[in-house]
Structure 1
Amino acid sequence: MTDADSRSRDPDDLRRRAGVRGDPDRDQHFLVDDRVLDRLPGYLPDDADRSHLLEIGGGTGALTDRLLAAGERVTVVERDRDLAAFLREEFADAVADDRLEVVSGDALGVALPEFTASVSNLPYGVSSEIAFRLLPLGRPLVLMFQAEFADRMVAEPGTPEYGRLSVSTQHYADAEIVECIPPEAFDPQPRVDSAVVRCLPRDPDYTIGDEAFFLRFVKALFTQRRKTVRNAIRNTAHISGLADADAVVAAADEDLLARRPGDLPPASFAALAELARETTEIGPGQ
């Protein structure tokens, strides 16, 4: 099959040739809506570098097909060995032309290539872990998640969805939901709606000296999201690793201390984390 032919591969035909039906117990929900598949690569910014696209969870290749048409080279990571072998056979011409590499393995453990952007329908069971492997790399991302998870990624301070995930995501990128996807777009159908999130890397509008501590500090405070920041700092020193939480509280601005974690923008978390680093020793925490 030529590259021109590959651009119109039908997702149902691909599944028949692969001999698979999908397995919800293994987090296998194949995206089969041609219209959605055709739109996904287009959510990358017009000026995005498409010279090396990364796809996590290639499945039977319906999205791989579109990415080969949209980019110069594609690397697919697929944990199912049989599906990885099918992709190499189905797209043999692209593999031979060095336009496609299929990596067989878990996306959380394999070495990732120096990709320029990623478009992926992530396995939902590990979507958080994969997202936070990709986000720090500073590349444009178009990723599909469960809708509830996507809502939390893009949430604003003061909303019920805003939390640790929101702050962590927005620390790395401008994130927005670009499309909502119903269960009917998949086979087998998941029990939840899905959403496509576009993450465009950017430098935050604040400075931090220890990123690992900042993210741990955010995690700690959101375990006490209904408490005031004052009490959250004191109650979570075992998580954040603060040697003297009271010293941090004594040095912090009263207005911040009286608020709740869910009302603080990322910049306020950064200011508190930097104050904590200046005020007391920081251990590894939990």
Structure 2
Amino acid sequence: MAGTETDARDPDALIRRAGVRGNPDFDQHFLVDDRVLDRVPGYLPEDADTSHVLEVGAGTGALTDRLLGVADRVTAIERDLELAAFLREEFAEAIDDDRLTIVEGDALDVDIPEFTASVSNLPYSISSEISFRLLPRGRPLVLMFQQEFAERMAADASDDEYGRLSVTAGHYADIDIVETVPREAFDPQPRVESAVVRTTPREPAYTVPDVDFFMAFLKAVFTQRRKTMRNAVRNTAHISGLGDPDAVVEAAGEDLMSRRAGTVTPAEFAQLATFAHEVGDPGGY
């Protein structure tokens, strides 16, 4: 059953008790707006399983506190040794009740446990890397990003922001920006606006022959997004691992090959990756 806490901890008081100041050089921007903190857990899908919620970048625990109010168990990852020690002291009762686990270390290096959902105010410098550690798990996520990153993640093929991030994230889930968050909601304030993104896992509406190859192929062609797909496929064979990119160009046809990556839909990329896998001699896949 979910937590029973009724009085949420004040985020400014948590910072004072921790005796720390956020360090922008270490990507520490503590979310201190109570209204945003109270809303964020509610952005999980209505049917989300909250029996074990993962938080990446717990900081001084303001969001951790709210998550304990809605989840049976929370695992919070924090790389700052001083903050991890503070969290163990501040939330000693929840830890003793086996409702909270503090994992000390970098979220890109530690073993991420099985979880049913994740709600996190992420360190922005690891937004992409941590997203793609979490998205393949097939669990609903509510993550705070820089607004620009969020817009690229949620973009459709017709949008200016559309790119590799849009296609790769959309392979795993529906992506929705559910709230934009001003700089004033953080201490210290970041230089950019932020946004909360909800990802709802689902199977893609297309099939690919090999997910790892699909992702490598996307990475390759988007390095030359201003080129036609014909040139992008040929010029990036050293990245995608294709032994015969000309065969892929021929198999795909003129219509698709004359376009640029920013106009190609995810389903069309899947079709092209299938051609590449079948006739392009992809080494290692």
With the shorter chain as reference, the TM-score category is over 0.9
Instruction: Give the drift of 1:7.
Output: 3.9
SS in 1 for 2:69: helix
- The 1:6/1:26 distance shift into structure 2, 3 A limit, reads farther
The residue that corresponds to 1:96 in the other structure is 96
Instruction: Give the drift of 1:248.
Output: 0.8
Instruction: Give the drift of 1:216.
Output: 0.8
AA paired with 1:222? F
Question: Number of residue pairs matched?
Answer: 283
Q: In structure 2, what is the Cα distance between the partners aligned to 1:128 and 1:231?
A: 27
Instruction: Give the drift of 1:49.
Output: 0.2
Q: Render the CA deviation track for 1:56-85: whole Å, top value 9, x for unaligned.
A: 000000000000001100000000111111
AA paired with 2:100? L
Q: Render the CA deviation track for 1:179-224: whole Å, top value 9, x for unaligned.
A: 0000000000000000000000000011112111101111111111
The residue that corresponds to 1:237 in the other structure is 237
Q: In structure 2, what is the Cα distance between the partners aligned to 1:6 and 1:129?
A: 35
AA paired with 2:76? V
SS in 2 for 1:70: coil
Report if aligned partners of 2:43, 2:198 keep a CA contact under 8 Å in 1: yes
Report if aligned partners of 1:154, 1:176 keep a CA contact under 8 Å in 2: yes
Q: Render the CA deviation track for 1:244-285: whole Å, top value 9, x for unaligned.
A: 111111111221111111001111111100111110311259
Structure 2: 5+ residue runs without aligned partners? Answer: none
The residue that corresponds to 2:270 in the other structure is 270
Report if aligned partners of 2:5, 2:68 keep a CA contact under 8 Å in 1: no
Instruction: Give the drift of 1:5.
Output: 5.7
AA paired with 2:215? L
Q: Render the CA deviation track for 1:21-47: whole Å, top value 9, x for unaligned.
A: 101111100000000000000000111
Report if aligned partners of 1:7, 1:65 keep a CA contact under 8 Å in 2: no
Q: In structure 2, what is the Cα distance between the partners aligned to 1:188 and 1:173?
A: 32
Moved over 2 A (4+): 3-7
SS in 1 for 2:272: helix
Structure 1: 5+ residue runs without aligned partners? Answer: none
AA paired with 1:166? S
The residue that corresponds to 1:260 in the other structure is 260
Q: In structure 1, what is the Cα distance between the partners aligned to 2:132 and 2:79?
A: 18
AA paired with 1:73? R
Q: In structure 1, what is the Cα distance between the partners aligned to 2:117 and 2:83?
A: 23
Report if aligned partners of 1:173, 1:203 keep a CA contact under 8 Å in 2: yes
Q: In structure 2, what is the Cα distance between the partners aligned to 1:46 and 1:100?
A: 23
The residue that corresponds to 2:280 in the other structure is 280
SS in 2 for 1:109: coil
The residue that corresponds to 1:190 in the other structure is 190
Matches within 5 A, 1:38-77: 38-77=38-77
The residue that corresponds to 2:218 in the other structure is 218
Instruction: Give the drift of 1:4.
Output: 5.3
- The 1:6/1:87 distance shift into structure 2, 3 A limit, reads farther
- The 1:66/1:116 distance shift into structure 2, 3 A limit, reads same
Identity over aligned pairs, percent? 69
The residue that corresponds to 2:105 in the other structure is 105
SS in 2 for 1:112: coil
- The 1:126/1:103 distance shift into structure 2, 3 A limit, reads same
| TM-score, reference length from structure 1 | 0.97
SS in 2 for 1:256: helix
Q: In structure 2, what is the Cα distance between the partners aligned to 1:160 and 1:209?
A: 29
Q: In structure 2, what is the Cα distance between the partners aligned to 1:4 and 1:154?
A: 34
Instruction: Give the drift of 1:158.
Output: 3.0
